[in-house]
Structure 1
């Protein structure tokens, strides 16, 4: 939520370096930029001067708040996130822990400035990953170290001064084994001998030449250092991708009821950040005549009615943003699954479902088939072909090749989809199957995790999977009740997003832009167009703007025309994801003309709306009473906030669309 920031207007703000996220004061280059006077922003805040550039003011105020947090011992992470040594910690996996911190940023709203404060979580290396690096290596298994070390910051002092490095990888050889060509002699020398006799200024006898070296260079140009010469500083964030176990733990830790997070903010966050109505003397806030209210802003909201849905038979009640298809409800239009197949991916210790108990597998598949039939899909009377892999080896690449052989054999019969039964979650097997089937073999797949499918509410699990299967087979699960939204007639809904390479991706990996749009009036089928984008390291200014957008929009309009030859779209509503506030003007300058060009080429003139969707904002809205919240504490689905904390000039709003789980806080 946001606390009120009250500008003190008795004097103008002093000259400030306008650098958002500046380094500590000792590292800053001080230079007079200009004087910022708070009187200048009054007309902007009152909606009278849209052209006023408020960004320098916000940068200056955020820099003041940052200085305040750093003086309190905060560890800055990314932009506007601060973590403290005294806050809660929780184990994620070997060598990693989650820490709670706080996001803090100044936001302009009508007639006032506010501070957006929110809880935030980040993965840090724990204490076992700090200190002498040789001791760190002895505390952890080599398999864990291969995931933990890349990106870890270390420093050395053996040269007589402190020098920082970033670890690229854990070496495969020890200091006694690893060799390189020494320019002085033109001969190979081991890392151990080089530090002992190779250079007069070293003269270091390694205590642990049996430990693997650390590569602080690159794959092409390795630079090996003995770990005992390296020291790992504390309070480092883990910036690589978390494994499945750690990701699940992080989500569980970060999801808290709104009231809990609100109490964290007011009871812990504001004191730690030293945001106060009466700032301490000599504090950054006091120096600039600023103060922050301790009370959260109370804003008006309204609740939209839930949608009315139609199925072929039955009408489930929509409650708290969700519903189910239990109790005989049938899909609006069932897909044809008379030709499908099953693949059981076997891992170690999975014989309880196979072998002598193979009848259990047949019963399981029969139960799922019956659920699909009950839901309105067209199914065959007999069971589908069931294939089983041998027990997969530990080598995951070899395991994926074994699965590929089975899938290729299944694919010869051209099934409409393959139901893949997995015994456990795996960071290699599931992505490997999807890569094979989606990109290489052209097979549709639906995966089930058996530990979930065979325990607990099995019928509901089957129902959720049936929803996915029916959609993949071009069925229609449900539609909006007729006359519910008559203004959606002849409307094409478009979704646009750019996916960037994740941490740890291969260097030079491109971004991918995707455009989806419906071709039917039921809004059930959304074919896709996609293009590779220029690598973001090559053209950072255009990394989020979509290249090839005109061609992709033309493809979507052509698909709509083929499905509706006599009725062109009268309205096009575009939902654009991944655009920051600073890129709104760029979107209008770069993407809007491309969209209009696609309309011109297709000779259509629909009404156009572009809605920018921001999911990762930090605004949170704890309900003020039980009447406007659901059981888990979230505000009622359909809650809309479009006053009080919204943009002064743009038509923005906050919408609570689901209440299925507590609020997931920002995770770095």
Structure 2
């Protein structure tokens, strides 16, 4: 888990609840755990709650992810605040009831035997971050013999804790392991391979405390959390021994692979996680969430072949030429960047017939076998250097190919770097691929991963058979019984709102059957809010090149666009049309990518000269989906010229489809001050009539991090905040900025600058000079362990913003929206694909026993199995009724301005995600050629502790008020 370094958040050390408060690994000759990156937080030192410190043995990284906010407060040693909303006394009664099966399996038998918990620590010779070494030591003959295995079934979390039903004779047991002796090899004279493990008894696992919690007789306790932690590890112990384990997912060896290209393959596994839940009959029990896991792995093959696949080379000479060309500027080359994805990959050499050694790649160098040298091990004086090429020729009679880069591995010999030839290394099997997939790989992965509900359920049932709970020796030993039948609950399909199109004085509504189906057409409908900025001077720039649109095709598209946009209520300004020119028509000009940043400048200036007026809309027709070209255009339009822009692909312009044009019209309309449709509630006035007239502001926030892979810890994160811009919540403002490097909490400065700006706009334009009475803050993308930080940092900063303006601080209601979970719905009566209907609400079977959370499927899945959104309310000062909040979140999914469907996530968060992603185009890295000097960028820190340059984004040009419209859609 990545997070800020000291410059961003200085976490205070707090006693952990995982074990005794005095860990046994902190005294004497034992090692202290190497620092593991902390939870993210903003830059401030807090007077109360702090981000957890993972620098001790007693860290929390192995805890269940379904403890809820209260469980994480307890795990950190804090009292659960009284303000934490509890589960409503009654379930939602609105809409109609529907039967839904879930991919959860209830625990029907709890352990009855006594279980002892032990604290594990190691001598100083053991680096606790080297999990492979620790696994070897734990599985050694010396340890197994002393612990009495296999008669005694021990469970070890691989880090700090172990459990067994046997009580060891001594309070602390020391076991010495000689790995050289264990593996039957002679010890090295300069390196000891003898290590000591310390096993200290800390407590008995308290099953009574867990039962008291589930019965509602006791609150969360450290004993209760330890018990859930133990049971979760019991479930994983046997599968981890026979399958490839990645966190809580297991992949069967020999499973059918699916080639994604670029040396990467995918195959399916099974995910399983234990959690306390509220059942359909309102009992509180433990349940296991089982789902399909889709894993990406390196294809086991020769490393050189894999490198060729990454660069799409058909032969080694092609690869050699690519590397040769990149050496002119190796540090900044894409070749060095793309080769870095092999860093930390395990490989085996095969230049000898009798033995093979395993290595881990540190990096693939620019040097080839002739250039890379090391001290010749056969030199008696150990002084003479020899090249890799000459050494392999002399030692093994192998002639290496010139020009192929050598591989530097992580292991050092006599403190010297070790270089190996790429052509005699093979990638080991079952290694996870952690880097971001390319566009083609992502497309292939989607085809592989997307399955209809009935097929997904079959795969889940197959996974349950793989887990084989009935025959699991650890479950049988400890007495844990799991139902083989998935749980079923009664859900609700919430009432749909009345979705209306313009004119607003006499709106036309979408038919009820279309709302239930989750899809309607725009044909013949006018936008409820046409563009407030009439289109006068506007330009179309057609990028020249292969697959580009011709002048005739472009003109045909423009004519259709004008006709269809006007049909939807779009407004054009014809008062300034010059004599002899057709009104409404844009200025169409060719564009050349070779012009770089000046491409946009030329199109903008030529359009302005043609109309003798500043352009208010620029359209660019590109030839393919190229992220670099897209961001270059957006950067110029947003930051240099401050003009709304729309980018189209030439293939869609050429096809000239009316439906596609209508979709473009929705986006253009929003960028010019309009909105698509309005969802009028017919249910909320019945649920909470007193809330209807309360001035309410909706805030959304999202922090976007760089994709995993080489160099990602040195790149910026981006924070976006959105605010509702009208009383109907159909339009939103958005502002964004860099947010450090892998810092999850929105920083104080970003909240002060951006929310402060938009709060003042809201008061002027929506609140009629007054602040909102209520604020609904919907936060995307934080884990349970960060819920407290959202309240103690972000919400605190937001309240300070209102206080600084000098108005009464509104009542905050905070909802976390989560997408990264494994709960799926399998309705008895769904849509034609077997997915739930829009508005399907599940409050039992997979939800927290005591806290206020629910799962809502607001959309229709176009492909595969629908993923509901997990909403959890962690603060409710605004006193929203449960049914009111659920209905509000559902109905607003129909407000999304870019589609004629309800969307899965509340638009405030959806827009924040769009704005955060768009802000990548505003990075101050290779600026548009404006002749201005760049200021020296500020220094910040990443979760790895390295100092990282994170430049602030280029500001939006304020000349045409781009901030006041939905520029990000």
TM-score (norm 1): 0.84
Paired position in structure 1 for 2:275: 107
Matches within 5 A, 1:303-318: 303-313=493-503, 314-317=508-511, 318=514
| 1:235 alignment partner, SS class | coil
Asked whether 1:462 is paired with 2:658, we answer no
Asked whether 1:631 is paired with 2:821, we answer no
Paired position in structure 2 for 1:122: 295
Q: Are the counterparts in 2 of residues 496 and 577 from structure 1 also a CA contact under 8 Å? A: yes
Change (3 A) 1:299 1:483: closer
Q: 1:554 aligns with which of 752, 756, 770?
A: 756
Residue 349 of structure 1: how far off its partner (Å)? 4.5
Paired position in structure 2 for 1:569: 772
Asked whether 1:388 is paired with 2:590, we answer yes
Paired position in structure 1 for 2:649: 449
Paired position in structure 2 for 1:340: 538
Change (3 A) 1:172 1:488: farther
Q: 2:615 aligns with which of 397, 408, 415?
A: 415
Residue 534 of structure 1: how far off its partner (Å)? 3.4
Asked whether 1:428 is paired with 2:648, we answer no
Q: Are the counterparts in 2 of residues 544 and 578 from structure 1 also a CA contact under 8 Å? A: no
Q: Cα deviation per residue 1:471-510 (whole Å; 9 max; x = unaligned)?
A: 1111122223377655354210000221112124554223
Residue 461 of structure 1: how far off its partner (Å)? 1.3
Paired position in structure 2 for 1:395: none
Paired position in structure 1 for 2:112: 10
- Looking at structure 2, the residues matched to 320 and 482 of structure 1 have their Cα atoms a distance apart, in angstroms, of 15
Paired position in structure 1 for 2:950: none
- Looking at structure 2, the residues matched to 155 and 450 of structure 1 have their Cα atoms a distance apart, in angstroms, of 44
Q: Cα deviation per residue 1:129-171 (whole Å; 9 max; x = unaligned)?
A: x2x43455567755698547623513356899945323544x5
Q: 1:642 aligns with which of 843, 850, 857?
A: 843
Residue 621 of structure 1: how far off its partner (Å)? 1.0
- Looking at structure 2, the residues matched to 499 and 469 of structure 1 have their Cα atoms a distance apart, in angstroms, of 25
Paired position in structure 2 for 1:295: 485
- Looking at structure 2, the residues matched to 17 and 440 of structure 1 have their Cα atoms a distance apart, in angstroms, of 59
- Looking at structure 2, the residues matched to 166 and 35 of structure 1 have their Cα atoms a distance apart, in angstroms, of 43
Count of residues in Structure 1 that have an aligned counterpart in Structure 2:
626
Residue 216 of structure 1: how far off its partner (Å)? 3.8
Q: Are the counterparts in 2 of residues 299 and 644 from structure 1 also a CA contact under 8 Å? A: yes
Alpha-carbon RMSD across the aligned residues, in angstroms, is 3.5
Change (3 A) 1:580 1:256: same
| 2:518 alignment partner, SS class | coil
| 2:809 alignment partner, SS class | coil
Asked whether 1:192 is paired with 2:389, we answer yes
Residue 402 of structure 1: how far off its partner (Å)? 6.8
Q: 2:401 aligns with which of 199, 209, 222?
A: 209
Paired position in structure 2 for 1:63: 233
Residue 37 of structure 1: how far off its partner (Å)? 2.5
- Looking at structure 2, the residues matched to 494 and 559 of structure 1 have their Cα atoms a distance apart, in angstroms, of 13
Q: 1:270 aligns with which of 453, 458, 464?
A: 464
- Looking at structure 2, the residues matched to 600 and 439 of structure 1 have their Cα atoms a distance apart, in angstroms, of 31
Give 5+ residue unaligned stretches, structure 1.
198-202, 393-397, 537-541
- Looking at structure 2, the residues matched to 434 and 470 of structure 1 have their Cα atoms a distance apart, in angstroms, of 17
Q: Cα deviation per residue 1:327-382 (whole Å; 9 max; x = unaligned)?
A: 311011211223322122233254xx42xxx3222111211221111111112534
Matches within 5 A, 1:125-274: 125-127=298-300, 130=301, 132-134=302-304, 136-137=306-307, 141=311, 147=338, 150-151=341-342, 153-155=345-347, 162=357, 164-166=359-361, 168-169=363-364, 171-172=365-366, 174-176=368-370, 178=371, 191-193=388-390, 203-216=395-408, 225-266=420-461, 268-274=462-468
- Looking at structure 2, the residues matched to 461 and 426 of structure 1 have their Cα atoms a distance apart, in angstroms, of 20
Change (3 A) 1:142 1:310: closer
| 1:296 alignment partner, SS class | coil
Matches within 5 A, 1:20-35: 25-26=135-136, 27=138, 28=158, 31=199, 32-35=201-204
Residue 34 of structure 1: how far off its partner (Å)? 3.2
| 1:428 alignment partner, SS class | helix
| 1:104 alignment partner, SS class | strand
Asked whether 1:530 is paired with 2:761, we answer no
Q: Cα deviation per residue 1:509-542 (whole Å; 9 max; x = unaligned)?
A: 2322221111311323322233433333xxxxx6
Residue 645 of structure 1: how far off its partner (Å)? 2.0
| 2:213 alignment partner, SS class | helix
Larger radius of gyration: 2
Q: Are the counterparts in 1 of residues 435 and 708 from structure 2 also a CA contact under 8 Å? A: yes
Matches within 5 A, 1:322-341: 322-335=518-531, 336-341=534-539
Change (3 A) 1:663 1:225: same
Q: 1:92 aligns with which of 260, 269, 283?
A: 260
Paired position in structure 1 for 2:564: 371
Asked whether 1:473 is paired with 2:683, we answer no
Asked whether 1:362 is paired with 2:565, we answer no
